Chains A and B, each alone.
Chain A
């Protein structure tokens, strides 16, 4: 294989890997705060991209993206406030059904608003054929945008959770909700915040990815499966491991076309998911004991 081809697969793998990682981190943030998997996570990515695309004709691109992220964040908050907040100690099964229902609801609403058409944001710099030469290989500048934005988001999130007082309070709610309440922390508001954070990073990822992957009303479930695989692969709740797991899945998918027909690419994630669930349900990077002491 030529180095150029290798590099192309590689950059595609990294690009998708980061997208999966962001979706997985969205899962993790909500999982850590509430113990539930929010299957509407992929819809946040879709909403971010689609909203920015709709706003773009009326305002400059950066503004459209910021507005789309804010709108999606508000939707995230509303989802929690309307559908989750008032439930008193719901069972996990009930929560899963509710979030799946939510994802269908959001998808149908998106179909109603935007129709079935496939759209995309313009390339942030240049166009679809412009490229930057890195170590002899040509890389689209958008790929650098994706990597940069995702890396920055992951870093900021991890600093936020480790160093800020608000981040510490959110970790506390995740670790022991009763004890957090006894410290005087309003745990419900922290849970709303976790939905907002998760929606915000999903939407931002949906915007930077849009020029490469395109956006469509039904892109959510596919992303949710990939993101869920990555979250499980990294060990639920562990966001740094999610980045590693995301890149791994992205690269495996991307290089798989060398040995498998293209159409098999989609089943890789599902196969990995099943394998991990059977063999190492606590994830590649976790171990059983620390899985009990869950952390961001």
Chain B
């Protein structure tokens, strides 16, 4: 689905990503964990085309997308749920979701069907209740659901999420993670970025650990959960005392 080879990128002279290689297979949840400033968001921005790669290749479904404009990348099936949600605050929940379907209704013959909100409302019943409300007045958890729903409206082949659990109460976080799990069960492919490493690894198939712009550990999620270095650095466990 997604294959990244030797990717480097940064902001001007500041190099952030160094030689990143990772891949996500069809139907998998892959999680990328790492501390603040590791370069996780930078990686997603580069995949989305918001940032130019200085080196390396990014293949989406076999096609190189590393030189494409962000709109084209979304149209070819890769959607991002950005850090900080970025909902259209002054627009209604419904309008937000309809905008998510942009790439589909532009290409579709049957415009009405491409704007069908039902699947997203089924996944997030609360959005149906808040349909006419301004997105900016939603709670943090609802905004996160809206951002996810908006990305899903495009029916992307790959959905990437940047720290969906940030700033949410434990109950809501649990809810969000169970929804991500449901997405996988429905056949979606997810690249999940998280600081909440334990929760992310529990629902993921595989994981990568990033530090200072490099991938330092990778493997099946269960192995990472059991890995002592990972436990010490990211799962908040003091292994020596056990």
> B-contacting residues of A (Cβ < 8 Å)?
165, 168-169, 171-172, 175-176, 178-186, 293-295
Contact = CB atoms under 8 A, between A and B. Distances in A.
Among B70, B75, B99, B134, residue most surrounded by chain A Cβ atoms (within 10 Å): B99
B42 to A, nearest CB: 15
Contacts of B154: 183-184
Given A172-B99, A293-B134, A183 B90 contact: no
Contacts of B90: 171, 175, 293-295
B99 A169 contact: yes
Given A168-B95, A180-B99, A183-B99, A175 B82 contact: no
Contact of A181 (B70, B88, B136, B151): B70
20 contacts: A165-B105, A172-B88, A175-B90, A175-B91, A176-B88, A180-B88, A181-B71, A182-B48, A182-B74, A182-B80, A182-B151, A183-B100, A183-B102, A183-B103, A183-B150, A183-B154, A184-B71, A184-B102, A186-B71, A295-B90
Interface string B90-116: 110001001110110110000000000
Nearest to B103: A184
B126 interface: no
Contact of B89 (A169, A176, A182): A176
A59 B208 CA distance: 70
Interface residues of B, number: 29
B157 interface: no
A76 to B, nearest CB: 23
Interface of B: 48, 50, 69-71, 74-75, 79-80, 82, 86-91, 95, 98-100, 102-103, 105-106, 134, 136, 150-151, 154
A123 B103 CA distance: 47
Contacts of A175: 88-91
A295 B91 CA distance: 8
Contacts of A184: 71, 74-75, 102-103, 106, 154
B154 to A, nearest CB: 7
Given A178-B50, A180-B99, A183-B150, 17 more contacts: A165-B98, A171-B88, A178-B82, A179-B82, A179-B87, A181-B50, A181-B71, A181-B74, A182-B82, A183-B99, A184-B75, A184-B102, A184-B106, A184-B154, A293-B90, A293-B134, A293-B136
A11 B70 CA distance: 51
Contact of B86 (A165, A171, A182): A182
A192 B236 CA distance: 51
